[in-house]
Structure 1
């Protein structure tokens, strides 16, 4: 039985990486076990680890659920100077999504539920609230 998960990405400029991911996630790390390694619990039981090292080419994308992908895309372009990314949707797929890169080539992205009732149900299930 699985009950938690961690996802690790690497950056070759750790200080810049920490600042970049703090801006992306809009908060300081939840856990700093040692130099060159930080973690955020993105949702209950799901940890994003940023480690100093050589990025793995072709990994990802790691996508984060957001309530409004267009607003989040504009924030990322403004605050992190990422290149604009296209938002996609496809008939039969319950989300719209987009992918971008961090400065080290790690693929990241966002997705937004099209069905807001489903989104509300997921938030309540995961977090016990609608936020």
Structure 2
């Protein structure tokens, strides 16, 4: 497995209030707003913070890692770590498909995969440059 990116999502009760707070924190507008009630900032190359409208949870996460084949990784984890087979989701306005699972201690983790493989290749090329 090669991890190519990661996201971390937090929830806020009111998205407008949350957006103002995080815009102030990062001193800039979100980098991506794919749909109502959701915004993302790329904190460092390949590391995103997602702010979503919803009830804040006592459980942190999900912390999702960008990979190149979500189905294969899901199958591997089901077999090797005995996790429940998690559902893979997508939305037409979101450029990735994603899924979430839980570790033995209740932490939410997950994976996401670019639907457009050209975009995925561009991200991987950028990351290679970042680590040289």
Structure with higher RCO (Cα < 8 A, 6+ apart): 2
Gaps of 5+ in 1: 1-6, 8-43, 47-55
**Structure 2 stretches lacking a partner, 5+ long:** 1-7, 9-44, 48-56
Partner of 2:95: 94
| Other-structure match for 2:75 | 74
When structure 1 is superposed on structure 2, of 94-103 and 120-129 the one drifting more is 120-129
Q: Secondary structure in 2 aligned to 1:60? A: coil
CA RMSD for the aligned pairs?
A: 2.5
Partner of 1:108: 109
Runs of 4+ in 1 over 6 A off after TM superposition: none
Indicate the SS of the match to 1:86.
coil
Q: What is the aligned residue count? A: 79
Asked whether 1:59 is paired with 2:70, we answer no
TM-score by length of 1: 0.55
